[in-house]
Chain A
Amino acid sequence: MSKKHHKLEAINLDAFYGDFHALKGINIAMEEKNVTAFIGPSGCGKSTFLRTFNRMNDYIDGFRTEGDILLDGRDIYAKDVRVDELRKEVGMVFQKPNPFPKSIFENVVYGLKIQGIKKKAVLEEATEKSLRRAALWDEVKDKLDKSALALSGGQQQRLCIARALAISPSVLLMDEPASALDPLSTAKIEELIYELKSDYTIVIVTHNMQQAGRVSDNTAFFYMGELVEYAKTKTMFTSPQDNRTQNYITGRFG
């Protein structure tokens, strides 16, 4: 697309769940510090594709890929790649907020502790930084030792984002991060995505067309395992080239 660095790239990617051909010959390149939205009907393969970027599909029986997924030009399915190292680079946020049943503080530093970091000062600094980045600090700074489960849904989701940011990834994958939230919390998440893109490459799966329009720079439309169209979000929502895209975004599918 432009001269910008390609942070994530898929080359002739096919993915299978056993006999089911879930992704068919996907070719896409995503620029660094950009937000890319994946849209498409349920079962079109967009979440499967999102999860290949941090190898979340590895645990699924019968799942296999062909072709390449590159992070900073490096094949993440290569034999010498350690998945735990990969996930330090590529953080993920899910549809439903899923904090651990622990304190807010413990949630944020969970990844760091696993990495063996024990110094309290380091952990505290990382907590404040991550919570600030996730626009949650002011709301929780006085109750870091309280259970994360006592937070509202929107706060929990921002906590999950803070948890993902704490291990300083460069890529954030978001699988419908606001679909379980009310409009206000959704707006906060969207605002957050907008702010985070100055430092992170973000890929977001969403079923909300307006959300894709508001937060993303580029949009990819998937249908039945194929990448039908990939273009600037502005172009996708004003003059899409493929009829299937047009039918989908205008709500006239099938």
Chain B
Amino acid sequence: MPHIDVELDKLKTRLLEMWDLVEYQLQSGREAMLNADQELAKQIIKRDRKVNQFDVKIDRMCENFFALFTPVAVDLRMVLAVLKINANLERIGDTAEGIARFAKKLEAPVSQDLLELTMLLPMYEEAMAMFADCRVAFKNNDPVLAKSLLKRDKTLDKIYRKSDGIVTKFMVDNPDKISEALAILSIIKKLERVGDQVTNIAEEVIFYREAKVVKHKLGRKKKKD
């Protein structure tokens, strides 16, 4: 393998390791929330430091790669994509940490009614599935899979848009659970952001593979309609 490919491979491997860690954080966040597991929540919060270390390390690796290899064409797009994916992964890591901070304060598991009404769990499932598929798209250099993710983000948006009304009504009916309901609402908001961040990452995969910029395209279409 040429030296430049060895270096690119290292970069990619490191990013995939970070991806695994963030996925684990998201999963744990869900467990901690559902089971009101404060111990697990504390672990997640502590582990976010590791995510941040990955972020710094990958930034530094990209900087070195630019300086030493002055990449062009597909190599250049790859490193640019890694930089941006890295930033998005770090944010998703923060989301998991935020969910854990909410779980840490829980004294009992979240009310089933509220979970069912808001569709928080299916939303969580879909966000995690998108996150995992996006990893596959990046790992296998698969722009087709990446493109399919852009559409799936709409499912999350739909649940998010309905959540306001649902939670308001729930709070009116259950004034004793207002703080819990507000927390659930903020988690839904966070998951909606995860969908956006996964979409950003998918766009980077398409950019890197096909040299096409697809971001901000959907919004433009909407305005025309």
Chain A residues at the B interface, C-beta cutoff of 8 Å: 209-210, 213, 237-240, 245-246, 249-252
Contact = CB atoms under 8 A, between A and B. Distances in A.
Contact of A237 (B4, B5, B72): B72
A238 B2 contact: no
Contacts of B2: 251-252
B211 A250 contact: no
A246 B71 CA distance: 11
Contacts of B71: 250
Nearest to B72: A237
28 contacts: A209-B70, A209-B72, A210-B70, A213-B72, A237-B72, A237-B73, A237-B76, A238-B72, A238-B73, A238-B76, A238-B77, A238-B211, A239-B73, A239-B77, A239-B211, A240-B73, A245-B73, A246-B73, A246-B74, A249-B73, A250-B4, A250-B71, A250-B73, A250-B74, A250-B75, A251-B4, A252-B2, A252-B4
Main secondary structure of the interface of B (DSSP, over half): helix
Interface string B71-94: 111111100000000000000000
B2 to A, nearest CB: 6
Nearest to B211: A239
A246 B78 CA distance: 13
Given A245-B73, A252-B2, A252-B4, 13 more contacts: A209-B70, A210-B70, A213-B72, A237-B72, A238-B72, A239-B211, A246-B74, A250-B4, A250-B72, A250-B74, A250-B75, A251-B4, A252-B5
Contacts of B76: 237-238
A209 B4 CA distance: 15
Contacts of A246: 73-74
A166 to B, nearest CB: 36
B66 to A, nearest CB: 12
Contacts of A249: 72-73
A206 to B, nearest CB: 14
Nearest to B3: A251
Nearest to B80: A238
A123 to B, nearest CB: 44
A87 B76 CA distance: 40
Most chain B CB within a 10 A radius of its CB, from A209, A237, A250, A252: A250
